[in-house]
């Protein structure tokens, strides 16, 4: 929901039925996925048979459906103002490529010193910076869509170049220097680039073409007030579908190994909380307005679980502890970051607000925002 709706106190009247009970639907999707994975024999294997860049095809489709409406809402003619904002770009690069991997490395060794497979899986998750689901969290929290598009694209470019090097550093070089156990990560640049092209390139191109062709054919007013409200809800449909499939794929493993999942979940909870809160504090200290500070926080806290899972499976096997740790990542990220969406909305009063006119009401309805 947009700022004027929040501040007017008429949230219930403006939100769609889906938006109003979003947290309920997400919890229900998680429960449904766990139930299906536990009760339907062979479902996980069936869902995992066909993959796209190492990720189950149903998950890939859900992610693409989820991201497309949000990227279709981006005002691509405003991107140049974001690329000139060093108060946003510099902290984002530092948080994503210096602080995030280092923090996950430290937490993995602190919480899992006796479980090397899970520890390695968590470190891989920390190296994979978010380029997909963060688009949804940012939009739900009323973050800056244009800033999110730029930061996600920036993360994607760095990911292709830096993922393999950081994996070598955090799994082999740094542990060796500290006298800790070393691990070798064998991942190609093409594998990473392919993941980026599929999970960001396809929906980004589709969103850009939709806006350009739609505005050219019928004008911006029609595009914002007619088309966007129609396609907006599909972002949440895709999110809920993805959550069901994710939990169904690992439903049996999660319910049969609850203690292992809990051990993996604890450092992830600490990681998401510290990265998000720290990034919001950095944004506030840098004088960023609420939308950009929120975008900074969610892009720094989220992780690219598609890439992490694909790398873990390709390197260590589908049944490995590293793969399980990669899968637990989004299972913890989903409920934690949806909770942080509400925290962000509650904290917006403490941030400078943008001096822009509100969007047309018709464009806000059905926008798939909390």
Contact between 124 and 311 under an 8 Å Cβ cutoff? The reply is yes
Is pLDDT above 50 for 6? no
In this structure, what DSSP letter does residue 52 have?
Answer: E
Intra-chain end-to-end CA distance of the chain, in Å: 5
pLDDT band of residue 335 (cuts 50, 70, 90) is confident
Q: Cα separations (Å) of 194 from 60, 140, 170, 255, 350?
A: 13, 28, 23, 32, 40
Is pLDDT above 90 for 7? no
Lowest mean per-residue pLDDT among 158-162, 220-224, 306-310, 357-361: 357-361
pTM value is 0.79
Q: What is the mean pLDDT of residues 199-214?
A: 90
* 3-state class (DSSP) for residue 55: strand
* Residues present in the chain in total: 370
User: How much is the pLDDT for 109?
Assistant: 96
Contact between 211 and 76 under an 8 Å Cβ cutoff? The reply is yes
């Amino acid at each position: 929901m947009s700022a004027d709706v929040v501040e007017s106190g008429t949230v219930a009247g403006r939100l769609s039925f889906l938006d109003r009970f979003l947290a309920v639907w997400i919890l229900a999707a998680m429960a449904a996925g766990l139930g299906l994975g536990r009760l339907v024999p062979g479902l996980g294997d069936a869902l995992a048979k066909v993959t796209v860049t190492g990720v189950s095809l149903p998950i890939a489709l859900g992610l693409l459906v989820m991201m497309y409406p949000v990227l279709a809402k981006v005002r691509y003619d405003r991107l140049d103002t974001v690329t000139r904002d060093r108060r946003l770009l510099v902290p984002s690069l530092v948080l994503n490529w210096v602080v995030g991997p280092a923090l996950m490395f430290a937490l993995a060794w602190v919480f899992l010193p006796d479980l090397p497979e899970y520890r390695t899986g968590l470190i891989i998750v920390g190296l994979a910076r978010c380029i997909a689901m963060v688009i949804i969290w940012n939009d739900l929290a009323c973050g800056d869509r244009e800033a999110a598009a730029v930061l996600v694209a920036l993360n994607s470019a760095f990911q292709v170049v830096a993922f393999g090097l950081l994996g070598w550093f955090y799994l082999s070089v740094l542990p060796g220097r500290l006298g800790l156990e070393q691990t070798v990560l064998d991942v190609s640049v093409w594998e990473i680039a392919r993941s980026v092209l599929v999970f960001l390139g396809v929906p980004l191109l589709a969103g850009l073409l939709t806006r350009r062709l739609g505005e050219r054919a019928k004008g911006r007013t029609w595009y914002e007030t007619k088309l966007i409200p129609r396609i907006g809800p599909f972002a949440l449909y895709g999110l809920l579908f993805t959550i069901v499939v994710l939990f169904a794929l690992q439903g049996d493993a999660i319910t049969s190994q609850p203690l292992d999942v809990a051990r993996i979940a604890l450092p992830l909870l600490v990681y998401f909380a510290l990265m998000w809160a720290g990034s919001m504090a950095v944004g506030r200290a840098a004088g960023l307005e609420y939308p950009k500070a929120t975008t900074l926080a969610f892009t720094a806290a989220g992780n690219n679980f598609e890439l992490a899972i694909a790398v873990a499976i390709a390197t260590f096997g589908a049944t490995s502890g590293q793969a399980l740790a990669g899968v637990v990542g989004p299972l913890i990220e989903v409920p934690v970051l949806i909770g942080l969406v509400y925290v962000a909305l509650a904290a917006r009063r403490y941030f400078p607000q943008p001096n822009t006119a509100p969007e047309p009401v018709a464009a806000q309805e059905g926008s798939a925002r909390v």
